[in-house]
């Protein structure tokens, strides 16, 4: 039976995800760490998304359907609002957790040496629509315990998201009380914007292990946003630069803008290979 107070809430916001949702849920059920709930919120899908998991009867699975489409950020918030765990992982409905992901990340948050840490990240694989590994994404210059200021500077200078997509991050619920909800106004930086806001209140721990997979396919959000990603990122880091809380320098901003442009062309070339 599900614990009335699960340690971890794995929140899965879903929209038109009939092809992948079942695999995402199975990847959570197969974890070596089992004190969790799975909160699935279907954002008024039109493809029978929830039918794909109708036969999964595990009591830890909680299902909700929005009467109308809320959009990315609002549905992420809705999934978290429905959850009960003290630790939260958002898992996009087409991504996967590897079996020891929760166990290894919880271990860091339970370690008294890292009392300042409120979010734990890991490396991740990039997989295609069939689940084949295309490449592994690591986090250059970030490993082990990273003080918040150093982490923020690395994020801005990287020109991309070095901490990873939602599947790569486990965070403490209490951080949301300090940051407020996800900001869906800039979809490309929806996750890294939240991680950066959390880092105003928390240290970071980067596990140098590949513990999850991020899927790219012709239908995925990242592919659809590829051409606008660089501009969105540059606008976002300019906003952070103007906010004194982040303590960023002009050099941080310029390096981030340059690298963001380079990443744009790398993404376009990579995604063209996925679609073709």
| φ and ψ at residue 87, rounded to 5 degrees | -120, 145
Q: For residue 199, is it within any domain?
A: no
Q: For residue 42, is it within any domain?
A: yes
d(CA 162, CA 263): 12
Provide the mean pLDDT of the chain.
Answer: 91
CA distances from 245 to 187, 241, 251 (A): 23, 9, 17
Q: Which among 136, 139, 96 has a CA at the least distance from the CA of 120?
A: 139
Q: For residue 75, is it within any domain?
A: yes
Residue 25 pLDDT grade (very low, low, confident, very high; cuts 50, 70, 90): very high
Q: Which among 77, 93, 270, 94 has a CA at the least distance from the CA of 190?
A: 77
Q: For residue 218, is it within any domain?
A: no
Q: For residue 227, is it within any domain?
A: no
For the stretch 167-217, pLDDT in tens is 999 999 999 999 999 998 888 899 999 999 999 999 999 999 999 999 987
d(CA 266, CA 167): 22
Q: For residue 264, is it within any domain?
A: no
- The CATH number that applies at residue 66 is 3.90.550.10
Residue 224 pLDDT grade (very low, low, confident, very high; cuts 50, 70, 90): low
Is the pLDDT at 90 greater than 70? The verdict is yes
For residue 58, give its domain range.
Answer: 1-94
Q: For residue 59, is it within any domain?
A: yes
**Predicted TM-score (pTM) of this structure:** 0.92
| φ and ψ at residue 70, rounded to 5 degrees | -95, -25
Q: For residue 161, is it within any domain?
A: no
User: Considering its fold, how many domains does the chain have in total?
Assistant: 1
Count of beta carbons in the 10 Å neighbourhood of residue 98? 20
| φ and ψ at residue 183, rounded to 5 degrees | -105, 105
Query: What one-character DSSP code corresponds to residue 181?
Result: S
d(CA 27, CA 46): 24
With a CB cutoff of 8 Å and minimum separation 6, the contacts of 232 are 186, 187, 188, 189, 225
Determine how β-strand 117-127 pairs with β-strand 203-215: parallel
């Amino acid at each position: 039976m599900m614990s009335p107070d699960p340690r971890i809430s794995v929140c899965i916001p879903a929209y038109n995800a009939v092809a992948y949702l079942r695999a995402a849920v199975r990847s959570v059920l197969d974890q070596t760490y089992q004190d969790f709930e799975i909160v699935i919120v279907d954002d008024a899908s039109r493809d029978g998304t929830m039918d794909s998991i109708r036969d999964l009867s595990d009591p830890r699975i909680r299902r909700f359907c929005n009467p109308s489409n809320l959009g990315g950020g609002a549905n992420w918030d809705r999934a978290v609002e429905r959850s009960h765990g003290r630790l939260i992982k958002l898992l996009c409905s087409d991504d996967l957790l590897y079996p020891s992901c929760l166990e290894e990340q919880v271990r860091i948050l339970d370690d008294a040496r890292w009392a300042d840490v409120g979010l734990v990240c890991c490396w991740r694989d990039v997989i295609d629509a069939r689940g084949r590994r295309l490449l592994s994404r690591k986090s250059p210059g970030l490993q082990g315990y990273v003080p918040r200021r150093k982490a923020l500077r690395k994020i801005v200078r990287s020109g991309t998201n070095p901490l990873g997509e939602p599947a790569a991050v486990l965070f403490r619920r209490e951080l949301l009380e300090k940051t407020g909800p996800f900001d869906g106004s800039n979809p490309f930086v929806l996750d890294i914007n939240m991680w950066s806001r959390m880092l105003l209140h928390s240290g970071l721990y980067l596990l140098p292990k590949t513990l999850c997979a991020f899927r790219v396919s012709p239908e995925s959000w990242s592919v659809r946003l590829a051409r606008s990603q660089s501009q969105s990122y540059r606008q976002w880091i300019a906003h952070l630069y103007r906010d004194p809380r982040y303590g960023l320098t002009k050099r941080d901003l310029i390096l981030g803008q340059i690298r963001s442009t380079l990443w744009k062309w790398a993404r376009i070339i990579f995604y063209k290979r996925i679609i073709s």
